[in-house]
Structure 1
Amino acid sequence: MVVHRCLCFVIIVTTRDKQVLAREFANVYQVEALKFDESMRPFNLNAFKQKHLQAEYQELSKKVVDYAKGIPFVLKLLGHRLRGKDKEIWESQLEGQVHNKKVHDIIKLSYNDLEEDEKKIFLDIACFFYGLQLEVKYIDFLLKDRDYSVVAGLERLKDKALISISQENTVSMHDIIQETARQIAGQESIEDPRSQRRLFDPDGVYEVLTHNKGNEAIRSIVINLLRMKQLHLKPQVFTKMRKLHFLNLYTAGTRDILLCEPWGLYLPQGLESLPNELRYLGWTNYPLESLPSKFSAENLVELHLPYSRVKKLWQEVPDLVNLKVLILQSSSNIKELLDFSKAPNLEVIDL
């Protein structure tokens, strides 16, 4: 009797780019982020060389694991970084959000592999749309460009694990990836600060808005007004920002704050204009009774003016052919709505 022994091998191939596998393999498994309890084990193994955490580090460990958001590589790096350090070092690292150069360098490798249009979409999501939980179709409308496909770009970012797209088709990004993206965006303008395209830092936004330093380079501005010093703006504040596509001045705070006077932002002489290139306009507690008459809004896709003082959006309603979302929640001074026939593609209204 002859016995044949068959040796079977399983080869596992991993990559940061899903398309590399899709071209060669029929079945591709997307590794999901670990749940919180599952994340504790790899972190503990690297931080304490054991499966269970030390009691005195319990709360600190939970904060670090929460920051890692279930990414095994990040859990391993942070565990190694904090191993053998005393509690004071842990606390100081947490205050600095546990920045780790290796993590950011790995993400930058994926970023460098992108085409220029994909980089543009990636930075727009990280520097403006982060946290908005927008669906793919709305991001497609907001970022639409004749030269490239936004949907294809989003798929590419998803394949490289730089963004996530949920079953509901909502786009999101991991906190750590967003941090890296914002570092990249900031480095774009190191040599010439006037060339910064995406403004999100409170000090930078304050400098541009209060001293009328806006220019055509600026593509987006987003800021939580509760993090700002008082802003006294001139009517011409947005005049030079002709290519501003995205503006979001919001207040993330308590309901009592939202119901009070316009928080820290004043337009004593009104507002002369807004850029006609605007596609997304968000302004919590908008302090005026209407939008500027010189604002054509022909490119506007989403308009968010919750808790505003608006009585009538426009004195004469422009053609709003691209408008899809209108939010006027808690704008209790409204006396007249716009002519909805001027917005034939409107899908969402929140009054």
Structure 2
Amino acid sequence: MKAFDSETAPNDVFIELSEHVAKYASGLPLALEVLGSFLCGRDVAQWRSAIQRLEKDSNEEIMDRLRISFDGLEEAEKNIFLDITWFFNGDEKDFVMKVLDGCEFFPDIGIDVLIKKSLLTVDENNKLWMHNLLQEMGRRIVREKSIEEPGKRCRLWEENDVYHVLTKNTATEVIEGMIIDNKRISNKMLNLNVNVFSKMKKLRLLKVLCLSNCDELKYFPNELRLLDWLGYPLRFLPPSFQPDNLVALLLPYSRIEQLWRGNTVRTNSYDHCFLTYFRNIN
């Protein structure tokens, strides 16, 4: 409706190109409206050029208009949106709400607001989903906080940025969430420094999804709500770690033998932890 004269049926070439545009928009009405208006009256070569550009970089007008919805959110809702953008897109709603509640983001009302603003959906399996364009907008918002130095961003997900922070030791207290993965060489072992998390005092969410190795870890932030480490390589958690805020502890295929080395007495136990999951490789 936006791209073509209503009295003129598009030919087969334009129908095929329209399918590419619709696939990019993934059913988001705003994206269809903006792209249709932009492409209206343009020839086949211009359509193809525009589609190629979209595949490399999202349309700025769409991002700007989506950003208005984000800017109108309360601070807790913004944090929920960004956490789901980076860490929980496609995860089970009840699990995500428990973690976010542990972060004191009031997810019962916050997620409802996001759903009603069409920034989030819940499918028939009770999983949270965010449109890929909305997810890209959220990631841009985080990247814009510090374009040159990823260690000054609040959330880290992209492999190159995480690798830079870990190898250059540029982490700061700003970091609240991190996913460590190695998609390029999936069977390559990631060697971690014993003090890799020592600067990340505010780290709430940590996922390690690749093979990793370290002789010892001296520090986990006490602010951790989610610790999800595939193949945790050590037999113990760092002795200084106080898990008072921990909501979910996931250590599948780990080498862990017990949580603490020795008979260290804890002022708080794991009784408050929503989910603890181990599957040892031994």
- The superposition leaves residues 47-104 of structure 1 with CA deviations (integer Å, 9 ceiling, x where unpaired) of 797666625973x65444333221223123334445524375266235315x111211
In 1, distance between residues paired with 2:105 and 2:176?
18
Are 1:206 and 2:163 an aligned pair?
yes
In 2, distance between residues paired with 1:284 and 1:105?
37
Match in the other structure for 2:55: 95
* Residues 192 and 306 (structure 1), Cα distance of their counterparts in 2 relative to 1, 3 Å cut: closer
In 1, distance between residues paired with 2:30 and 2:209?
34
In 2, distance between residues paired with 1:165 and 1:184?
23
Equivalent positions of 1:290-309 (< 5 A) are 290-309=236-255
Equivalent positions of 1:264-275 (< 5 A) are 265-267=212-214, 269-275=215-221
In 2, distance between residues paired with 1:212 and 1:284?
23
Are 1:143 and 2:90 an aligned pair?
no
1:180 Cα offset (Å): 0.5
**8 Å CA contact retained: 2:82, 2:138:** yes
1:110 Cα offset (Å): 0.8
In 2, distance between residues paired with 1:76 and 1:192?
35
* Residues 64 and 153 (structure 1), Cα distance of their counterparts in 2 relative to 1, 3 Å cut: same
**8 Å CA contact retained: 1:210, 1:232:** no
1:121 Cα offset (Å): 1.8
Match in the other structure for 1:338: none
* Residues 242 and 84 (structure 1), Cα distance of their counterparts in 2 relative to 1, 3 Å cut: same
In 1, distance between residues paired with 2:242 and 2:29?
49
Amino acid at match of 2:117: K
Residue aligned with 1:304, SS:
strand
Are 1:322 and 2:268 an aligned pair?
no
Are 1:245 and 2:182 an aligned pair?
no
1:313 Cα offset (Å): 4.4
Residue aligned with 1:282, SS:
strand
The alignment covers a number of residue pairs equal to 272
* Residues 148 and 197 (structure 1), Cα distance of their counterparts in 2 relative to 1, 3 Å cut: closer
Residue aligned with 1:208, SS:
helix
Q: Which runs of 5+ in 2 are unaligned?
A: none
* Residues 310 and 158 (structure 1), Cα distance of their counterparts in 2 relative to 1, 3 Å cut: same
**8 Å CA contact retained: 2:228, 2:250:** yes
* Residues 162 and 246 (structure 1), Cα distance of their counterparts in 2 relative to 1, 3 Å cut: same
Match in the other structure for 2:23: 66
**8 Å CA contact retained: 1:285, 1:307:** yes
**8 Å CA contact retained: 1:126, 1:181:** yes
In 1, distance between residues paired with 2:163 and 2:192?
10
**8 Å CA contact retained: 1:248, 1:281:** yes
Identical aligned residues as a percent: 35
Match in the other structure for 2:192: 233
TM-score by length of 1: 0.67
In 2, distance between residues paired with 1:48 and 1:300?
57
Larger radius of gyration: 1
RMSD, aligned α-carbons? 3.1
In 2, distance between residues paired with 1:52 and 1:289?
65
